[in-house]
Structure 1
Amino acid sequence: MTDGGSVTDRVNMGSLLSGAEEPVVQFENVGMRYGLGPEVLSDVSFQIAPRSFQFLTGPSGAGKTTLLRLILLSVRPTRGLVSVFGEEVSDISSEALTGLRRRMGVVFQDFRLLDHLTTYENVALPLRVQGRAETSYRAEVVELLRWVGLGERMHVLPPLLSGGEKQRAAIARALIARPELLLADEPTGNVDPGLGRRLLRLFIELNRLGTSVLIATHDFALMDLVDARRLVLGGGRLAVEHP
């Protein structure tokens, strides 16, 4: 993977939106509450098309992380229908659930790196799970680590990494297997603006290779660099803004 340069002009993602293909994600009148509390999400309906790029935004507490967890299938909706890769998930088996999750790349704010594995081993883990031999992926992992600025830190354990380095390692791990769907929760929150733009370029390049991308962020300056659809949460409800 090469550095496509800094993002200096607004990138138009409209040409990457799909037409009549089956959505990668579909929500129909979804409501979500935890326990007996009020609904975090109310009557949320939207689709994510194959090979599309969009941002998810809204104030803190608006339900962005809950929406991502619903897509990841780590929680089930209180009401309504959620479909991922064409599978309606209300009664899905554990085996099928695992298969769907392997088609996703995920970057959450807590990173979820394994402390007993080096940076290199954490990033390579999705490929090991696929059963690939290290000789088939080592150069690819090393190249990606160098691209995100971790070439000199690939043999370091996560407890010795800074917050920004952990963030970049988590992003590299999510991208290495070229998932069909990438979910990223504030992926540039712990890095400087220059590196944030570089990481955005990486997400754009992955999208152009065919991955659908959903980035949750508060960073309006970052969103203004891309003419991409915005899913805006507020008061538990979703509005869609087009570029």
Structure 2
Amino acid sequence: MFTGRLRSSFTRPRPRTRQTGPPLIHFENVGLRYGMGPEILRDLTFDLPKGSFQFLTGPSGAGKTTLLRLLFMSLQPTRGLIKSFGRDITSIPRNELPMLRRRVGIVFQDFRLLDHLTTYENVALPLRVRGKAEQTYKQDVIELLKWVGLGERINVLPPVLSGGEKQRVAIARALIDRPEILLADEPTGNVDPPMARRLLSLFLELNRLGTAVVIATHDLALMDQVDARRMILTDGRLDIYE
């Protein structure tokens, strides 16, 4: 949960300085293919440091969403090594993966909201699943929904929300439990520029509190607002610019 009030404005926001120590995630010569088809990702070698902030970009079809799924441990590589929180993901028992994934927040392009739950209930769901009492998180959920511009939509069901509103609910749900890593797939794709800047400020604030952030985006204007690491995926290969 958030430990303090979120700041409502930033002047020239910057990511926090990356921490030293073992990386949260380590890729070494990773490749991935589906079935007998060609490799979608090839020879990926990089670290995701604790407390880092980076943009993942590249042309459509380059494999950005697939790379996010590898980072989230919902896919396994067909070759190479991936270590998440110091553990080889190919050797982690299946029943232990859900607990490890709780350390990672993810915003999918298709939102994955539950239509029978209100906006508030969708955002609070990760905390309820962990058995937390509502009185310990209710104010944090309300505050976060106000931050993303949904303070008046707390009790609304997803079918009533617009695409941009659903996206903001999904973002709030991914952030509410202060994950060690946040993966966001085109998180500003359905919102207007002012809201995109507001969401970027929220990601930077979370990063300031210690979360490593990976934002997959095509939005060059968004990336130009922050002097952050850029990971450019082209034809399944990754170039990194610090």
Q: TM-score, normalised by structure 2?
A: 0.96
Unaligned runs of 5+ in 1: none
Paired with 1:38 and 1:239, the residues of 2 have a C-alpha distance of 20
Partners of 1:3 and 1:147 within 8 A in 2: no
Match of 1:18 in 2: 19
Runs of 4+ in 1 over 2 A off after TM superposition: 1-4
SS at match of 2:109: coil
Paired with 1:56 and 1:193, the residues of 2 have a C-alpha distance of 19
Partners of 2:68 and 2:183 within 8 A in 1: yes
1:144 is the counterpart of 2:144 = yes
Match of 2:162 in 1: 162
SS at match of 2:91: coil
Partners of 2:52 and 2:213 within 8 A in 1: yes
Question: Superposed, which structure 2 residues align to 1:15-54 within 5 Å?
Answer: 16-19=17-20, 21-54=21-54
Partners of 1:229 and 1:240 within 8 A in 2: yes
Paired with 2:77 and 2:103, the residues of 1 have a C-alpha distance of 21
Match of 2:234 in 1: 234
Paired residues, number = 238
Match of 1:57 in 2: 57
Match of 1:3 in 2: 7
How far 1:4 sits from its partner (Å)? 3.4
Amino acid at match of 2:63: G
Paired with 2:136 and 2:117, the residues of 1 have a C-alpha distance of 19
Match of 2:121 in 1: 121
How far 1:166 sits from its partner (Å)? 0.2
How far 1:3 sits from its partner (Å)? 3.5
Paired with 1:189 and 1:151, the residues of 2 have a C-alpha distance of 21
Provide, for residues 93-141 of structure 1, a one-character-per-residue CA deviation record: whole Å limited to 9, x for no partner. 1232111101111101000001111000000011111111111111111
Partners of 1:119 and 1:154 within 8 A in 2: yes
Partners of 1:112 and 1:170 within 8 A in 2: yes
Paired with 2:7 and 2:156, the residues of 1 have a C-alpha distance of 24
Higher alpha-carbon deviation: 40-49 or 93-102: 93-102
How far 1:235 sits from its partner (Å)? 1.1
Taking only the aligned residue pairs, the percentage that are identical comes to 65
How far 1:239 sits from its partner (Å)? 0.4
Match of 2:221 in 1: 221
Partners of 2:233 and 2:239 within 8 A in 1: yes
How far 1:2 sits from its partner (Å)? 2.8
Partners of 2:109 and 2:186 within 8 A in 1: yes
Provide, for residues 41-99 of structure 1, a one-character-per-residue CA deviation record: whole Å limited to 9, x for no partner. 00001101000100100000001000000111111101001111111101211232111
Amino acid at match of 2:80: G
SS at match of 2:203: helix
Partners of 2:63 and 2:236 within 8 A in 1: yes
Paired with 2:235 and 2:185, the residues of 1 have a C-alpha distance of 19
Paired with 1:148 and 1:241, the residues of 2 have a C-alpha distance of 30
Amino acid at match of 2:6: T
SS at match of 1:122: helix
Match of 1:201 in 2: 201
